Structure 1
């Protein structure tokens, strides 16, 4: 049970390992692209390539017929990774070994919809994958296995997405093969990572440079970090924190290299940017066609 690209390696790993996959559940096809054609999600597409049956219910909570169809599959386990629909109790209880979730954090830290981005924003030194037996709470079920990976100073959400997706595929195979005992999650240290909105990408120049650098990396590729330049949005695709200029107002461009004053007296140098409707460019290339003199205010 999964939908986005993050879920595909687990599906392929289960299939390659010889597990009998009774069905693949994915979110329904949705309009996409310029023509807004109905397009299957990545898991749906992968399942079709593998010749697996696909079910795409629009909802599950009150659909008794769907609950019965799920139970009739006679599952040993259901593997759930970024599915996007809440499983009601009749479905959680149907598989013999339960519904096993591949969650992209070291639970109980960063429960919720955006754990990868939350780990970068918080300045965590590591993150990882937890295999959890699902209950009716939000990522509160007992844990079976964990695997950690460091968060490097230049890691973006896209970097961690790919790394954690691969780790999750490996770890779910171990969980199914080893059937490890489940341990309850401690409540100490539990945090919640809500679903991201586009506004989460806005840079607040009153924040410290290190925090803004983390936001740029956490919001890549979606929703993307941005600021305002002359009343229009400017996307920030990459940046680096640097020493600033004492007394400079936050959001002020300090020099010709797009070094911008931040709230802690340090600066964030914008290294890759994009104007609306234009191609992404390295800062040096961008500045050759779009002069931004020192003293310009961003925000």
Structure 2
């Protein structure tokens, strides 16, 4: 059993993979991907041989995967609750083991409880916090608002959809965090939905007077989705036709169509995006927030 001395009696002990996976799954209490699946939660960490327990006086206090200059899947083990001490010791280990050419340390998918502590230790956010949201699929009797019509989603529409969504997201959090979407991004999304024959969950909405594409919702079942959960990947409406019920219509339609394929619908949202209030209004419940953090070495 490999162990490494840190300071003041703290040790890092390399963990057996299955034991580490069980501890991390239970004590992180953070199903950030909304798997709702024990085996998939375990598989989050089974890929790595670098799971470690932080130990003091023969008592496990917490653990994390330490991979080069990164901390992944951190957790504390009750009754230990000193998150600042935990991260100080983990950072000490990273400083000893990091690639000498690296000038940065990272905490991947840090939880909300960690952010303020990491900021006091000199870390900075590399992106806005995000969270998953989920709700059951169900039957809804929905009608497209007057003055609009629909067409099926197709790969040939990828450029037009990307242009629409970039206009819908312009100046908002999505644009700030992810930058503009490309035709290739949208084409890949549509092809994944077509691979499961669930592209009918999506919507393309056009203005009846101008024949202009004014709303899009890319939704369905991704081939790699756990538990066959459906998902909404993109949804947006042009600014000039917002507040006319198109967003609500497209999401309720997605929930109704997805009912025949999946028990639940997931999506991910950047914290602070006004769309989150709409998702909550439509019955989506939030999962835990997660954030990427970076420490710049002198």
Output the TM-score relative to the length of structure 2.
Answer: 0.24
Structure showing greater relative contact order (alpha-carbon pairs closer than 8 Å, 6 or more residues apart): 2
Greater share of helix residues, 1 or 2?
A: 2
Output the TM-score relative to the length of structure 1.
Answer: 0.24
